[in-house]
Structure 1
């Protein structure tokens, strides 16, 4: 008996040594909030616990989500890869990653760590259950073996967008004193939602403190590196889902206890201006625990033994958000944010059923429709420019677009070049319309397809660039490319004619209505409708597309039909059938159909 007790003691001692050699890692993640904390200079915020934590930790002033929404940004976090290179940029598209991509907690688990997730996954790709020892709302590092190091994630949902869907009667923060951004008019609903959101952040701060206290009470603080960050910006309209600072700039505060302080170049209690994105989080955790970083990861560690030099730029992206199709890319350095809008014909404020559940959004829209907004407040409800450039130091709300200002031409060219280089290096597959991606993904991971030689990247990127530049000089070339052998090229050519409202392309566009690829037919129909060249043929083609078995083709058609108002009536029976469906996983075409039924009904 004594012999077994001795062996057990030796094993526990070995585990303790292992734990001391490799730190525990605790992630505390809040949802849908940008840098609205006292430690980041927000004087209206009530976040004393996070402010105290920041004073004793490293606060990163230039940390960014790669996407302004949860699922694609979490895909970046869990893979260490850029979703447009994986084909996982679209909201809850769940396309598979290639076999070699492991959710990074699996590397820790294989190295002896106990890995837990409480409780949100939402990784926008096929799940990998082997990444976690526990993943549920009861998961906790407390269930590990004695002395076993852990990696634990706790997700604080209290600040999520849904917290604004129902107004509360009693508020702690005064709506009449709440600081509004210049793009929001001072409606009663907006003031209330902002105040309610600050209340939710205060509660989030208390929940953060409880998790930290639990760590300290367990005697684990001195062996644990603690990350606090938000999963994307947010949460009122024009923040979450949008490519501005309010959607992409996130708080990041990291505490390294004294025994691990040497793993950071910054001292605790200081501020780092290093550019950091979610691409860097997976390699950083592996670096902290001294596990070799896989070569496929696209970010760079900023802590630990495998630190990389600071990147020159932070990259961001936007694909489809819920039921609305859009596409943008962004580049950020320490002073400027550049945004390239690849569907500039789409207004910023496309109707999203989930976003509109907040009372404030409709109040803003109603004032626009009544013509009671100034130019800054109206912009959200209008079409986008192809390019945007903001000086984030002097214009933190991103309301003064400098892209056409000659004084900033050098910066515009530099950042545009950085964007072009990045989409090429990452083989950004987001330029393929999702109705086509959907079919490809059934046969092969989209990452592999992009590198198979079948993706004519240069021709597609060149076509997308001229199609979305809003330059009429490209009209003839776009008409020519309507007959290109590549359907993605044909799609962008038709889209470019929509953006330019090129009415002289009627004959070639009508020919494309017989294209073998449904996404191309829909794009041609949109051009014919928007230019007024043949509205009846356009609506007939869109109506036929609703019969497709491809849900993203149906969604693409519904997005266009939503622009046609009462002209959509011939499609209404099919739209109603889609609206009545009960989809288990994919319901965005159902959402779009329900909205269209309601809108057409109002116009009758």
Structure 2
């Protein structure tokens, strides 16, 4: 007879692992506080308590006055699913590919447990209402006592401490297309320097402030329920956003507005001995949301398993304040990129391993729901932007460095400023150490053999340190490396061949003329003979850049229609999207995919989105203004998306 994961938790059959405290040593139930997590989606700290004078967030502000405000808190990824993987597991998504990609399904090692499983073993009744989006194969109903809209502490046993997570989707990016209006008007907002200051963009900023105010009301409703139920004195309350905001160059991008989130914790007087600071305090040391599961285990008196990399922010043991917060970007929806970043709260360093791709690659959902993206793109195509505003649509530098105090909009790249050299070197080294420490999986193409927490630790498949060196050399686009890249095409290691081909691709017109024919010959051999489609795709795009189109485009057209691998289809379509008019021979296949019936959200929608955009650009009819949802479609999307949750009243719980 076999038991489910839920049964194993119930009967104590799952091992806590070598690093965990035995159940017999856990605190008694009466020694455990209740814990309430209030989670809002897609939020920068557009909040009064963080100093925003335009924001109207009285309930969150009141929570901050009697709680602890973390001034420099960050999500691990600038998008929900990888960020929620980190929160659920306490592991860096980049350590367990493909969890670092948006909308993937990573395999969590069978002996690893999530925080609700561990908290249940510690004696907590664990509730999640309703969003999951965990980016891995864990069944939410197996790890929670209650999962879904009916979840509430009122459904918990009275003699058991609860951990209750409420998620509000009111601030999710899809809602900005509604144009409901509110207290904040377009004239009230400040437009950052990287954006054109137009009426359309001002309206989106004002709308974001107004949906933040509506979300604040929902937070207030939950806090009032807790007070009315007589539980406030025995409940530690966390409020945080799951990733950065939704306005242009925020969600999906590795800048402050994509990664910085609010985090406020209220510890009632009874439990002040678990707090790191007095009520009303601020903590300036950088923290990330991966610290949250470690914090829960610290409150419950459980030692954290070795795979959980966060630091407890409060509880029975408090971690030493961190010096840095790290973030990343890999595939975001249908667009591939590879970005790693680190901040100390004052400076942000960004490393772009794919600088040949534009920062602002077209992402269908962004353009559909947000008028500001469409406006920005249209003005770029019309040649009406400044260089600073146009940078979003152009290839990226390999490295970026910003002084967040002097340049909060992150538009003045100081990477080549001699006065910033020591800071840049310090942050470079910190990022390298972090990537090696967590075994960053980002240099393995999505879908290739070797993905996974343990699988990627096989250095015969994934020699990380060497790959980091090769990828950095490729991204620097130095012509002196061409012979090295050509030689590495003979490597038996798939990931090395992949990055060698990408190095030749990124050289582009910097390729020395005397090396071009040798590069073509070797890439053509890869195109025909390599065992890995992922490597052949990069070779095909590189060959097009060197003037060899026929065989290359034919291969890409074949692979975009391959039903066996979604990552291969997306990678091939990504290559077609970036070779310009050379993709015209693939037009019949592109048109077929663009007109395909939508059957399942991920399997068809991402390639379909890519094909629709590519088709319109190849046929010369692309107009950003046509991409927006109609008012009816916007309303339907907001009512009908089951992964997002509206106000708490929709679950039947009111004060």
Q: TM-score, normalised by structure 1?
A: 0.93
* Deviation readout 1:65-92 (Å, 9 max, x if unpaired): 0000000000000000100001110001
Q: How far has the Cα of 1:583 moved from its partner? A: 4.3
**Residue aligned with 1:431, SS:** coil
Structure 2 distance, partners of 1:379, 1:184, is 10
Q: Deviations over 1:45-64 (max 9, x none)?
A: 11111111111110000111
1:18, distance to aligned residue in structure 2 (A): 4.9
**How large is the RMSD of aligned CA atoms in angstroms?**
1.7
Among 607, 614, 626, the alignment partner of 1:589 is 607
Q: Which residue is 2:263 aligned to?
A: 252
**Partner Cα distance (1:537, 1:416) in 2:** 40
1:303 aligns with 2:314: yes
**For residue 473 of structure 2, what is the aligned residue in structure 1?**
466
Partner Cα separation in structure 1 for residue 327 and residue 535 of structure 2: 27
Q: What are the superposed Cα offsets for residues 199-244 of structure 1, whole Å, 9 maximum, x if unpaired?
A: 0000011110000000000000000000001011111120010000
2:582 to 545, 567, 574: 567
Residue in 2 aligned with 1:398?
410
- 1:7 aligned residue: none
Given the alignment of the two structures, is residue 110 of structure 1 paired with residue 121 of structure 2, yes or no?
A: yes
Task: Return the alpha-carbon distance in structure 2 between the equivalents of residues 539 and 122 of structure 1.
Answer: 36
What is residue 570 of structure 2 aligned with on the other side?
555
Contact 1:171 1:199 in 2 (8 A): yes
- Is there any run of 5+ residues in structure 1 with no aligned partner, and where? 1-16
Instruction: Quote the residue 1:451 is aligned against.
Output: 457
Equivalent residues of 2:29, 2:123 under 8 A apart? no
User: 1:29 & 1:235 partners in 2: Cα distance?
Assistant: 16
State the secondary structure of the residue aligned to 2:318: coil
1:135-534 map, 5 Å: 135-168=147-180, 170-357=181-368, 358-436=370-448, 439-440=449-450, 446-453=452-459, 454-501=461-508, 502-503=510-511, 504=516, 505-514=519-528, 515-529=530-544, 531-534=545-548
SS across alignment from 1:512: helix
Q: CA deviation at 1:148?
A: 1.4
Aligned mates of 2:309, 2:599 — CA distance in 1: 35
SS in 2 for 1:380: helix
- CA distance in 1 between partners of 2:137 and 2:163 (Å): 21
Q: Distance in 2 between matches of 1:95 and 1:555?
A: 18
The answer on whether the counterparts of 1:528 and 1:538 sit within 8 Å (CA) in structure 2 is: yes
Contact residue 18 and residue 149 of structure 1 kept, 8 A: no
CA distance in 1 between partners of 2:621 and 2:549 (Å) = 18
CA contact (8 A) 2:285 2:323 kept: no
- 8 Å contact kept, 2:68–2:278: yes
Q: C-alpha displacement at 1:401, in angstroms? A: 0.8
- Answer yes or no: is the 8 Å Cα contact 2:189–2:206 preserved in 1: yes
Tell me the residue number matched to 2:75. 65
User: 2:144, 2:95 → 1: CA distance?
Assistant: 25
Deviations 1:163-184 (A, max 9, x none): 112333x442111221111111
Residue 450 of structure 2 contacts residue 462 of structure 2 at CA under 8 Å; is this kept in 1?
A: no
Deviations 1:258-298 (A, max 9, x none): 01111122111111112211121101011012122222211
> Partner residue of 1:14?
none
- Which residue is equivalent to 1:542? 556
1:44 and 1:179 in contact (8 A); partners too: no
1:151 shift after superposition = 0.3
Question: Counterparts of 2:458 and 2:466 in 1: how far apart (Å)?
Answer: 16
The 2-side partners of 1:591 and 1:334 are apart by: 36
Q: Decide whether the 8 Å contact of 2:108 with 2:138 is kept in 1.
A: no
Aligned length in residues = 580
Q: Does 1:599 align with 2:583?
A: no
Q: Higher RCO, 1 or 2 (CA under 8 Å, sep at least 6)?
A: 2
What is the CA–CA distance in structure 2 between the aligned matches of 1:483 and 1:229, rounded to whole Å? 48
* 2:44–2:262 CA contact under 8 A, matched in 1: yes
CA distance in 1, matches of 2:221, 2:447: 45
Equivalences for residues 124-135 of structure 1 within 5 A: 124-128=135-139, 129-135=141-147
